Amino acid sequence: MKAVEMLDYGAPEVLVDTNTAPQPVLKPKQVLVKQHATAIDPYDVKFRQGLMGTDKPTPLIPGSSVAGVVVAIGSEVTEFAIGDRVAASTHLKSYAALVAVGQSLLAKIPAQVSDVQAAASVLGAQTGYQMIMTDLAIQPGETVLIHGGAGAVGMMAIQLAKRQGAGQIYTTAHGAGAAAIRAIDPTIQVIDYQTTTLTEAMPDGVDAVLDTIGGETLRASCQVLKPDGRLVSLVDSVDDPRVTQSYLQASGAQLAALLALIADGQVTLLIADERPFNAANVRYFQTLHHVVGKLVLTFD
């Protein structure tokens, strides 16, 4: 089977092509997906670098996003059939022509959503969805600060906070990222983090914060969080009862709800570039920084 293998943890050069990867063996509640597209996510880069706290033996097949068509189903699969277009977030093994995925992680891709869009939505955008809809549970009229608005998590979170009826929405961005945010929604208050502090931009404070950066940014965010406010961080924690740390809890139901919004045109995904799936393109995409929009690899 065609795949991109990771020979060891380290630099991009550890990612190599193979045509001899074994085909996945289905468990009863899994489906076999023929890959049409997979996205590059920061998680993938950190995993390759050995920064995700894993000791999984190498070589292995990395990759965290699946978008394709069902070609086989396990004996206990009840929700999917051969021929269904599906998407899912996986921790590993999406850099391959065929991927076995548990049915609880899968969502059907609406006809209005392309494979590229689906692959681009499953990790960062799904995380943004969970943070706004569940973890922060944004309410109408609330003021919200979303860090990293030009990233996949932040850009989806901004749009969903607006859809939930939030009052003023603030985000941090610079340069091309700031321009992209304003193009999607000119009502968003974009804070140039290189020239303006959070306390200068939000002297009255905010009700809710989504932190995608951590460190000093998290501590500065606590300074503008109202006494009864709440902050969710994806990367860090501090000794403050208003602060919780969270992470994506991927599910098919959650992803299906997000894909329905994309299909209806209620939220937008930005695609920065798409290239054919091979190790050279995976390596290239993984070396890019501060790209506005998703990087997607497509299969033959």
Q: What is the pLDDT of residue 108?
A: 99
Q: What is the pLDDT of residue 140?
A: 99
> At residue 61, does pLDDT exceed 90?
yes
The label of the residue with tokens 């890959």 reads 35
Burial of residue 73 (CB within 10 Å: 0-12, 13-18, 19+) is buried
> At residue 12, does pLDDT exceed 90?
yes
Asked if 102 and 76 touch (Cβ cutoff 8 Å), the reply is: no
Domain ranges of the chain: 3-108+270-298, 124-245
> At residue 53, does pLDDT exceed 90?
no
Measured CA to CA, the distance from residue 170 to residue 79 in angstroms comes to 40
> Which residues have a Cβ under 8 Å from the Cβ of 32 and sit 6 or more positions away?
24, 26, 70, 71, 72, 73, 98, 99, 100
Structure tokens belonging to residue 273: 């570039």
- Count helices and strands in the chain by DSSP H and E runs: 9, 15
- Homologous superfamily of the 3-108+270-298 domain (CATH): Medium-chain alcohol dehydrogenases, catalytic domain (3.90.180.10)
Task: Write down the H helix ranges in the chain.
Answer: 42-48, 115-120, 126-130, 152-163, 176-184, 198-201, 216-224, 252-263, 279-287
Q: What is the pLDDT of residue 58?
A: 97
Query: What percent of the chain has a predicted confidence (pLDDT) above 70?
Result: 100
Measured CA to CA, the distance from residue 123 to residue 234 in angstroms comes to 13
> Which residues have a Cβ under 8 Å from the Cβ of 292 and sit 6 or more positions away?
150, 176, 177, 180, 270, 272
Confidence of residue 54 (pLDDT cuts 50, 70, 90): confident
pLDDT digit string, tens, across residues 18-40? 999 999 999 999 999 999 999 99
- DSSP assignment of 173-193: E-THHHHHHHHH-TTSEEEET
> Which residues have a Cβ under 8 Å from the Cβ of 17 and sit 6 or more positions away?
2, 3, 4, 5, 278, 279
Tell me the three state secondary structure of residue 7. Answer: coil
CATH hierarchy code of domain 124-245: 3.40.50.720
The pTM (predicted TM-score) of the whole model is 0.96
pLDDT digit string, tens, across residues 198-228? 999 999 999 999 999 999 999 999 999 999 9
Confidence of residue 189 (pLDDT cuts 50, 70, 90): very high
Q: What is the pLDDT of residue 24?
A: 98
